[in-house]
């Protein structure tokens, strides 16, 4: 099987084709078709889509936006104990979806790394302590845990990974 090359770029309604997108979740399919452009336009989420190199058919996507959390929800570690008592700044990858036709080809990992790199770059301009995700089910939770995400103690389906950990994993130039 030939190795596919993907490009990840900001979603543009009218340019990126989403009608055939099907990931196995009606909610995620509906989001990219009906709501992604308005969320991006309203600046409540940035939407990034993956297409095969040279194509415009969306084969995967993720959203990213700002959030914050209380340190009381984090596991007690030396690092988390040193966080401030006021809300801790973070970015949240609110959605991550991969078209059924390319599932199992590591596009989810590719999108996660792309998001991490963008958040790392943004954190050099605006303070961001961690990347947060909300796992929709146990399978998604297992996926994120494989990459080093940790559970919030009070919300086991919400996970985080410190930016410092991402930088160490991806290299500081990411």
Residue 107 lies in a domain: yes
Question: Domain span at residue 161?
Answer: 6-170
Is residue 67 situated within a structural domain?
yes
Residue 66 belongs to a domain: yes
Q: What's the gap between Cα 2 and its chain centre?
A: 26
Residue 136 resides in a domain: yes
The confidence score (pLDDT) of residue 1 equals: 40
CATH of the domain at 24: 3.40.630.30
Which pLDDT belongs to residue 172?
62
> Residue 150: inside a domain, yes or no?
yes
Residue 23: other Cβ atoms inside 10 A: 23
Specify the pTM.
0.91
Instruction: Identify whether 47 is part of a domain.
Output: yes
Cα–Cα distance list, 72 to 105, 106, 149 (Å): 37, 34, 17
Would you call 35 a catalytic residue per the annotation? no
Work out how many domains the chain is built from and give that number: 1
The one-digit pLDDT tens for each residue of the chain (174 residues) are: 455 799 999 999 989 999 999 999 999 999 999 999 999 999 999 999 999 999 999 999 999 999 999 888 888 877 777 888 889 999 999 999 999 999 999 999 999 999 999 999 999 999 999 999 999 999 999 999 999 999 999 899 999 999 999 999 987 655
- Tell me the three-class secondary structure of the chain, residue by residue: CCCCCEEEEECCECCEECCCCCCCCHHHHHHHHHHHHHHHHHCCCEEEEEEECCCCEEEEEEEEEEEEECHHHCCCCHHHHCCCCCCEEEEEEEEEEECHHHCCCCHHHHHHHHHHHHHHHHHCCCCCCEEEEECCCHHHHHHHHHCCCEECCCCCCEEEEEHHHHHHHHCCCC
The reply to whether 64 falls in a domain is: yes
Residue from 61, 110, 144, 147 carrying the catalytic annotation: 144
In a domain, 1, yes or no: no
Give residue for tokens 């959605």: 95
Taking each helix axis from N to C terminus, what angle separates 163-170 and 107-123, rounded to the nearest 10 degrees?
A: 120
């Amino acid at each position: 099987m030939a190795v596919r090359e993907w490009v990840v770029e900001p979603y543009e309604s009218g340019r990126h084709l989403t009608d055939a997108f099907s990931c196995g979740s009606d909610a995620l399919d509906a989001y990219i078709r009906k709501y992604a452009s308005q969320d991006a336009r309203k600046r409540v989420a940035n939407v990034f889509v993956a297409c095969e190199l040279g194509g415009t058919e969306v084969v995967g996507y993720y959203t990213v936006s700002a959030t914050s959390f209380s340190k009381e929800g984090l596991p007690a570690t030396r690092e988390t104990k040193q966080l401030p008592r006021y809300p801790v700044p973070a970015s949240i990858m609110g959605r991550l979806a991969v078209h059924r036709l390319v599932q199992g080809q590591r596009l989810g990992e590719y999108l996660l790394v792309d998001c991490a790199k963008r958040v790392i770059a943004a954190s050099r301009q605006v303070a961001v302590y961690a990347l947060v995700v909300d796992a929709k089910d146990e399978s998604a939770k297992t996926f994120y845990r494989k990459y080093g995400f940790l559970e919030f103690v009070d919300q086991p389906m919400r996970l985080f990974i410190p930016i410092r950990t991402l930088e160490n994993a991806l290299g500081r130039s990411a």
